[in-house]
Structure 1
Amino acid sequence: MPLPRAFAPLRHSVFRTLWLATLASNIGGWMQNTGAGWLMTSLSPSPLMVGLVQAATMLPVFLLALPAGALADIVDRRLFLLGAQAWILLMALILSALTATDSIGPWGLLALTFAIGAGSAMNFPAWAATTNELVPREDLVGAIALNGIGFNLARAVGPALGGFAIAAAGPEAAFALNAIAFLILIMALIFWRRSEPPNRMPKEHLLSAMRAGLRFVSASPGMRAAILRACAFFLFTAAVWGLLPLFVRQQLGLGPQAFGMMLGIMGISAVGAGFALPALRGWLDRSGTVFWASLLAAAAMGILAVSHHWAPAAIGMLCYGAAWIAAGSTLSAAAQLAAPAWVRARAIAIYQLSFFGVMALGSALAGWLGGSFSVPLALGLAAAGCAIAAFLVRGWRIDSLALAEAPAAAASMPQPEAPADELRGMLGEASGRVMEVVRYRIDPAERSRFLALMQEVRRVRLRAGAGSWQLWEDVAHPDRWVELWTMGSWTEHLREETRLTEADRAALARAAALHRGEAEAGPEAARFLNVNP
C-alpha cells in the first residue's frame, strides 16, 4: 500500500531514522526548556531572571549561526553533527547532576542553558543542509514539511512530558530525559553512513568561508527573495508569540490551562497543515503558498484581536498554526533549493539568522505595543502589517529556482592559459589576490543585450567568491570590452570553478556567445597575480 503523499519522504530509511531521532531530541529540548524555566522560579523568581532563561536559549543563534554554517560546510557534516549532539548531551548531564545535588544557582543555570543553546545553534544549519542529502529533490519540500511537523509535535508533547517529569522527580528528571533523547540522536548519527563527494581542494578557512557565504547570499536573487519574504512574514506573525500570554490572561480572562490549550490547538493545526501541504502544492506554487499563508495569518491575528471568548480565539489559533507551518516550511525549502551544496549550510544559517532576528524584533515590538496601549490594538496592527507586507513583497518570486537544473548553453567558455612553470611555486593559499580578466568583442548593435547578460555574469562571479567585479568599455573601440574580477588567492580561484552550478555556466556561456572575434573564437581569458615589490 503506497504511503500518503505527506509521508512519502519517510520511505527513505536514513531520513526516517534521523527524523524519528530528531523528533526525540526536539521533545527533549522542550522538556529542558520547561525544566529550566520552572527551576528558575525556585532559584530566583523575579520576572527578569525567568525571562533570561529564554534569552539564554536564543542568544547563541545570533552569535553562532554564521560560523556554525561555515563549519558545517567545510568539515565532515556527520562528524560535526555528532560533535554538536555530544556537547548538548554533556551539558544536559552536568545540569541534571548539579540540580539533583542542589549545587546549581541562577547564574549557573543560565550559563548551562546558554551552553545547551550553543549546541543547538551549531546543530540548526548543519541539520537543515543535511536534508538535501537524505531525500531526492522531488521529496525535499515534503521532508522539510515533515521536519516542521516533528518540531510542532515536539512543542506540543515536550512541555507536557516535562511537566509530568518535574512533578514526579523534579527538574533534574527533565534534564536527564533531555540527555537520553540526544543520546538516541547520537546513535542514529553513528549508524548513518554518509557518502561525501570527493574534494581535492584544501579545506576552506573559517573566516574566508564566512565571507564566501555572505557574498553568495548577497548575489543570489533566490536567497534574497526567500530572506525578504521570510522577514515580511515573521516580523508581523511573531506578535502572537509575544502577546499570547497577555492575550489569554487579560483579553480572555483565563488561566494557564487556557494558555496551554491555545498552544496545543496551534500545534495540532500546524501538524495537520503540514500533512496537507503536498496536496496544496498541486494548486499553488511556492510564492503563492507563502502569499496566501500570509493572508491567512493576518486573518488569524485579526480574529484574535476581536476575540473575548475562547471559542473564536481557538479558531484564530487554528488558522495561525496552519499559516505558520505552510509559510515556514515553504520558505525554508526555497532557501535550501536556492543554495548549492558547497555553501548550503552557510546560506541556511544566514536565512535562519534573519528570521530569528525579525521574530525577536516583532515579538518585542508587539509586546511593547500591547503593554503601552492594548493587546487588541497590537494584534490588529500586526494583522494589517502582515497583509500589507504580503502584497508589497509578492513580486519577489521564490519559484525561479528550477533554473538551477537548466542545461548550459552550447557556447565555448573562455579558458585562460596555464600558469608559467617558473611561477607555479608562488601559487597557493598564500599567493595573494588573483585578478581574472576576460576580453570580449561585441557587435555595437548587441550592446544593450550584452549589458543585460553581464548583470547576471556579475552575480555569478560574486556567488562563486569574487571580492570585486568590474566591466570596462573601450572608448576608442566600442566593440571591445574587458571584464575584471578578483579572488582572494590562487586556491580561491581554483575553488571558483567547482562552485559554478549548471545555471551559472549557462549564464556565462550566453554572454560568451555574443563574442565576435577572429574566426568566431571565444573571448580571451587571462589571470594575473598581485605582486607588491
Structure 2
Amino acid sequence: MTSSGAPTSAHAHSAFAPLAIRAFALLWTANVLSNTGGWMQSTGAAWEMTSLTQEPIFVALLAAAGTLPMFLFCFFAGILADRFDRRRYIIVCQVWMMGVAATLALLAYLGRLDHWSLLGLSFCMGLGNAMNAPAWHAVVPEIVSGPMLRPAIALNSAGFNLARTVGPVVGQILLGLVGVFLLFAINACTYIGVIFAMAAWRRPADAQAAHRRESFLQAARSGIAFVRGSGELKAVFARGLCFFVPGIAISTLLPVIGRFELGLDEFAFGILYAVFGAGAVAGAVLMPTLNRLLSPDRANIWAMGLHAAATLVAALVMTPWVVGGCVAFTGACWITFIANNSTAIQTILPNFMRARGMAVHQMVFFGAMVVGSLFWGKLATLFGTQPALIASAIALVPLTILAASIRLPGSSLRP
C-alpha cells in the first residue's frame, strides 16, 4: 500500500522513510510499546528462573518454551492468516497474549509462581506469538511497498530491539523495587495499544480480495508445494540454519553469564540484556548504508563472521565491559542478518502465499533457535559456559564459509 504522505523515491532508501506512512508509524509505535512490556516480562522471567535454579539447562528450557511453539504451530498459523482477515486475526492473538501475561501477573502476586508454571505459561505466550507472527509479517507489505520494504522490515526489527534496550533496564529497576508481578502486569496492559492500532487500520481492498477461497487442507497442500518448488526459499532457509543454530548460543546463555559468571545485580543484569538491543538498533540504522556498500548478500556473510569473533572474545575475556561490548556487537550482526533474510523472503512470496511462506521462514528460524538453545544449554551444563561459547564461535566459522557459497536471492546487487 502507498500513501500520499509516502516519501519520494529520492528518500526511499532512508532508514526512517517508512515512518512517513501514518498507518505504519502508528502500528510501529504500538508494537514498540508492546515489545517493551514483553522484554520487561522476559528479563524478569529469566531472573526469576535463575532464582529458582542455577542449572543452565533450565534457563535454556525457558528460552525453548517461548520459541518451540513457533516451530510447532507457525505453519498452521500461516494457513489461517492467508484464509481469514489478517487484521481481525492479529487482534485475537493480541487478546490471547494479554490474557497469558495477566495470568502470570496474578500467580506472581499470589506467590504461586513456580518453575513449572513459569515454563508452561511461557509456552502459552510463545503459542500466541507463533499464531500472531505470520500474519504480522504478512501485513507489512500491505502497508509499505517497493524500495521502502527493506527499511520497513529493518525498522520493525529495530523497534523490537529498541524495546529490548529499554524494557530490561526499566523492568529490572521495577523488579528490585516492587516485584516480578508488576512486570507481567505492565506487559498485559501494553497489548491494548496494539489492539487499538490494528483496529484503526483499514486493509486495502486489493489485499482483502487476494485471499484465496481454499479449504484448510488445500491451503496446507498448496503452501507446502510452493515452498518445496522454490529454490530461492530453500536458499534463504539454508543460510538461516547456518547462522541461527550456532549464533543463538550467546543469547541463550546470557542469563547464566550475567547472574553467575559476572555476578551482576538486578540493574546491571538488565543493562546486559539492553546492550544487545542497543547494538541491534544501531545495526538497523546503519544497515541501508552497509547494504549499499557491500550488497545484502555480502553484508550477511560479514555479520556471521563478526558474530563469531565477538562471541569468542566474550568467552575468553569474561568481564562486564568486554562482554557488554561483544553482546552489543552481536546485536548489530543479528539484525543485519535477519532483516536481509526477511526481505529476501518477502520479495519472493506472492501476497496470497505470504503468511504461509513467512510461517515456514519462522519455523526454520525458531526451530533452529530451539535446537541451538537446548544444545548450547546442555553443553554449558556439562562443560561450563565459557567452553560452550567457544565451541559455538568455532562452529560458526565453517558454517559461514558454507553460507557464502549459497547466494541470497535478489541481493547480489547493491540496492
Which TM-score band applies after superposition, normalised by the shorter structure?
A: 0.7 to 0.9
AA aligned to 2:166 is V
Structure 1 match to 2:67: 58
Structure 2 match to 1:186: 195
Q: CA deviation at 1:49?
A: 6.8
Structure 2 match to 1:21: 30
Structure 2 match to 1:262: 272
Cα distance in 1 for partners of 2:333, 2:384 equals 24
CA spacing shift, 1:180–1:376, aligned 2, 3 Å: closer
Structure 2 match to 1:136: 145
Cα distance in 2 for partners of 1:357, 1:81 equals 22
Q: CA deviation at 1:402?
A: 10
Residues 30 and 197 of structure 2 are in contact (CA less than 8 Å); yes or no, is this contact kept in structure 1?
yes
Q: CA deviation at 1:233?
A: 1.0
Cα distance in 1 for partners of 2:404, 2:28 equals 33
> Can you list the C-alpha shifts for 1:208-239, whole angstroms capped at 9, x where unaligned?
21222222112112211111111101111112
Q: CA deviation at 1:348?
A: 1.0
Residues 285 and 399 of structure 1 are in contact (CA less than 8 Å); yes or no, is this contact kept in structure 2?
no
Please identify the structure whose Cα radius of gyration is greater: 1
Structure 2 match to 1:518: none
Residues 68 and 125 of structure 1 are in contact (CA less than 8 Å); yes or no, is this contact kept in structure 2?
yes
Superposition map of 1:118-197 within 5 A: 118-197=127-206
Q: CA deviation at 1:339?
A: 1.1
CA spacing shift, 1:344–1:45, aligned 2, 3 Å: same
AA aligned to 1:381 is A
Q: CA deviation at 1:272?
A: 0.7
Q: CA deviation at 1:401?
A: 7.3
AA aligned to 1:298 is A
Match status 1:6 vs 2:15: yes
Cα distance in 2 for partners of 1:53, 1:386 equals 24
CA spacing shift, 1:357–1:88, aligned 2, 3 Å: same
Residues 79 and 355 of structure 2 are in contact (CA less than 8 Å); yes or no, is this contact kept in structure 1?
yes
AA aligned to 1:240 is I
Could you say what the CA RMSD is over the residues aligned between the two structures, in angstroms? 3.0
Q: CA deviation at 1:275?
A: 0.5
Q: CA deviation at 1:380?
A: 3.0
Q: CA deviation at 1:371?
A: 3.8
Match status 1:233 vs 2:236: no
Q: CA deviation at 1:110?
A: 4.4
Cα distance in 2 for partners of 1:253, 1:90 equals 35
CA spacing shift, 1:95–1:305, aligned 2, 3 Å: closer
Residues 26 and 151 of structure 1 are in contact (CA less than 8 Å); yes or no, is this contact kept in structure 2?
yes
Match status 1:211 vs 2:206: no
Q: Which has the higher helix share?
A: 2
Q: CA deviation at 1:84?
A: 0.7
**5+ unaligned residues in a row in structure 1: which ranges?**
404-533
Cα distance in 1 for partners of 2:73, 2:128 equals 9
User: Identity over aligned residues, as a percent?
Assistant: 37
Q: Say which of 379, 382, 394 aligns to 1:384.
A: 394
Residues 82 and 211 of structure 2 are in contact (CA less than 8 Å); yes or no, is this contact kept in structure 1?
no
Structure 2 match to 1:88: 97
SS at match of 1:304: helix
Structure 2 match to 1:279: 289
Instruction: Identify the structure with bigger relative contact order (alpha carbons < 8 Å, sequence gap 6+).
Output: 2
Structure 2 match to 1:295: 305
Q: CA deviation at 1:176?
A: 2.3
* Greater mean alpha carbon deviation, residues 140-149 or residues 298-307: 298-307
Q: CA deviation at 1:36?
A: 4.3
Structure 1 match to 2:234: 224
Aligned length: 401
Structure 1 match to 2:329: 319
Q: CA deviation at 1:284?
A: 2.1
Structure 1 match to 2:4: none
Residues 22 and 185 of structure 1 are in contact (CA less than 8 Å); yes or no, is this contact kept in structure 2?
yes
AA aligned to 1:276 is L
Residues 43 and 270 of structure 2 are in contact (CA less than 8 Å); yes or no, is this contact kept in structure 1?
no
Superposition map of 1:36-115 within 5 A: 36-37=45-46, 53-101=62-110, 107-115=116-124
Residues 286 and 399 of structure 1 are in contact (CA less than 8 Å); yes or no, is this contact kept in structure 2?
no
AA aligned to 1:387 is V
Q: CA deviation at 1:262?
A: 3.4
TM-score, normalised by the number of residues in structure 1: 0.68
AA aligned to 2:151 is G
CA spacing shift, 1:186–1:137, aligned 2, 3 Å: same
Residues 337 and 401 of structure 1 are in contact (CA less than 8 Å); yes or no, is this contact kept in structure 2?
no
Residues 222 and 401 of structure 1 are in contact (CA less than 8 Å); yes or no, is this contact kept in structure 2?
no
AA aligned to 2:93 is A
Cα distance in 1 for partners of 2:196, 2:143 equals 17
SS at match of 2:349: coil
Structure 2 match to 1:33: 42
CA spacing shift, 1:109–1:388, aligned 2, 3 Å: closer
> Can you list the C-alpha shifts for 1:370-413, whole angstroms capped at 9, x where unaligned?
4434544433332232222122122322233799xxxxxxxxxx
AA aligned to 1:317 is V
**5+ unaligned residues in a row in structure 2: which ranges?**
1-6
SS at match of 1:393: helix
Q: CA deviation at 1:99?
A: 4.4
SS at match of 1:296: helix
Match status 1:398 vs 2:394: no
Superposition map of 1:358-377 within 5 A: 358-377=368-387
